[in-house]
Amino acid sequence: MMLLPKKVFFTKGVGKHEDALISFELALRDAGIEKFNLVPVSSIYPPGCIEVSKEEGLKELKPGQIVFTVMSKFTSNEEGKIIYASIGVAIPENQRLNGYVTEYMGYCREDQDVGRYSEENAKYMLETAFGIKPTRTFNVTIKSKVEKFTTVIAAAVFIL
C-alpha cells in the first residue's frame, strides 16, 4: 500500500497553561487538530497534492485517525518573550515533482518576519533540488507572547 497524500490543509494555533503538555493540547485545539493521532513526517510536499481549506480537510478526517503532518512546534515558559512556529511552502509548477515544506521555530522579535525566512528556505530547497523556480510559495506562521507555558504550532496536515 502506497501512502501518498492526495490533499493537504494548513493550520496554526497557540495554547497557554500552567502545564507544558496542556499548553500543547490547547494549541492543537486552537489549530483544530487535537482529535487525531498525529505522526510527524519530513518536509516533502507530495507530487500532485491538492491544497484544501482547513474546514474541508477536517470533514474528511475522523477522531482517532492516524494523520501525517509536517509540524513546527515551540514551547516556552520565559514570560514576556515572543515565540513563533512557522512552516514555509514551495510548490513547483510541474505537479509530478515534489515541493518542500520547511519548519522553523524559536524566539523572535515582535517585528521580525520569521514567516518569510521559512518561505525563502522552502523556495531554496526546491530550486536547488530541481533547478526550477516554484510556481507558488507561502508560509503559515504564528507568534505569541509567553505567559505561563505557551506553545505555538504551525502545521501542514496531509489527507490520504
CATH for 127:
3.50.20.10
Residue 141 to residue 116: CA distance in whole angstroms: 9
**Is residue 2 situated within a structural domain?**
no
Query: Full-prediction pTM beyond 0.85?
Result: yes
Please give the grid coordinates belonging to residue 68: 501525517
Count of domains forming the chain: 1
Q: Which domain holds residue 93?
A: 7-159
Long-range contacts formed by 39-42: CB under 8 A, 24+ apart: 39/66, 39/67, 39/68, 39/69, 40/68, 40/69, 40/70, 40/71, 41/68, 41/69, 41/70, 41/158, 42/70
Determine how many CB atoms are found less than 10 A away from the CB of residue 93. Answer: 10
**pLDDT value at position 1?**
75
How confident is the prediction along the chain (160 residues), in pLDDT tens digits per residue? 789 999 999 999 999 999 999 999 999 999 999 999 999 999 999 999 999 999 999 999 999 999 999 999 999 999 999 999 999 999 999 999 999 999 999 999 999 999 999 999 999 999 999 999 999 999 999 999 999 999 999 999 999 9
**Is residue 1 situated within a structural domain?**
no
Task: Kindly state the DSSP code that residue 127 receives in the 8-state scheme.
Answer: H
